[in-house]
Amino acid sequence: MEFPKNIFGSHSKMDGDFFLGIKKILGFKPKNIAFYKKAFLHRSMNKRDEDGNALNYERLEFLGDSMLGTIISKHLYNEVPNGDEGYLTKMRSKVVSREHLNELGKDLKLIDFVESRIPKSHFGENIHGNVFEALVGAIYLDRGYVYCNKFIKKRVIEPYVDIEQLEGRVISYKSLVIEWCQKQKKSFDFNVYEDTGNDSLKHFAVKLSIGGTVVAKARATSKKKAEERASKRAFFALQDKMKR
């Protein structure tokens, strides 16, 4: 699909700077720079193509997520011939976890390319991983599977995919705590409540009880983050017992 040259309303110098920045990240020349401009276009810009379809990175994010999962799956399949389906699925989840994708996006400073009407300081953590996936989608549309595989191998697999390290990497401390409690037949409870205090952003606090005793407390800007943070503290407080 070709985009009209003026669809993004960019000036030639801006296009040139963007092209050089993207080329440096990719390690090869983009063919159709419009795919990459779309990969960093936030929905707050309210741009549309000539058919009235929304122009932003969200559809590319969907495509990139699929391509990333496929290429990582193939790598793990080849590298771990004795790994069963459950093992391979768990390992892939560790590589493409939201936390890891956010780290990848931050390492590449992708947020610097985002075009938005919202101040970048107001973005949540997931913007980094979202645009990383959108970039992968743009590469696939622009240069196909071979170059997409080349980029993921260079930026994800070679620097980050170490089988032994991945086996020891924890995706969710909450899942570990719950699994341990169930095996030990211990009751557990995440008591979550709003705890704004003097913060401008809404915060949630959580008390994690195991066997009727509070073992950890935490607070964060979302219930999910607060529960995960409390679970991590509980894990390290009880790790000697949990590793038996």
Domain boundaries, the chain: 12-167, 173-242
Write down the pLDDT at residue 102.
92
Token representation of residue 204: 């949630």
The verdict on domain 173-242 having CATH code 3.40.50.12140 is no
- pLDDT at position 12, please? 52
Q: Which of 237, 103, 243, 100 has its CA nearest to residue 172?
A: 100
Give pLDDT, residue 177: 85
- CA-CA distance, 27 to 5, in Å (whole number)? 24
Closest among 79, 67, 30 to 149, alpha carbons compared: 67
| Domain 12-167 in CATH 1.10.3720.10 | no
Tell me, what's the pLDDT at 43? 92
User: Is 199 a residue of the active site?
Assistant: no
Q: Look at residue 2 in the predicted model and tell me its pLDDT.
A: 45
Q: Residue 51: CB partners within 8 Å, gap ≥ 6?
A: none
Q: What is the pLDDT of residue 4?
A: 44
Question: Does residue 162 have an active-site annotation?
Answer: no
* pLDDT tens digits, one per residue of 137-169: 999 999 999 999 999 999 999 988 888 777 766
User: 61, 115, 133, 227: which one is catalytic?
Assistant: 133
Catalytic residue among 61, 65, 115, 142: 65
* CA distance linking residue 233 with residue 244, whole number of Å: 18
Q: How far apart are CA 6 and CA 91, in angstroms?
A: 43
DSSP 4: P
- Name the percent of the chain lying above pLDDT 70: 90
208-236 b/e (C-beta count within 10 Å ≥ 16 → b): bbbeeeebbebbbeeeebbbbbbbbbbbe
Name residues of the chain where pLDDT drops below 70: 1-14, 168-171, 196-200, 243-244
Give Cα 87 distance to the centre of its chain. 21
Residue 171: the pLDDT is 65
The pLDDT value recorded for residue 244 is 60
* Separation CA 145–CA 155 (nearest Å): 15
Cα(195)–Cα(87) distance, rounded to whole angstroms?
39
* Tokens 């073992």 -> residue: 215
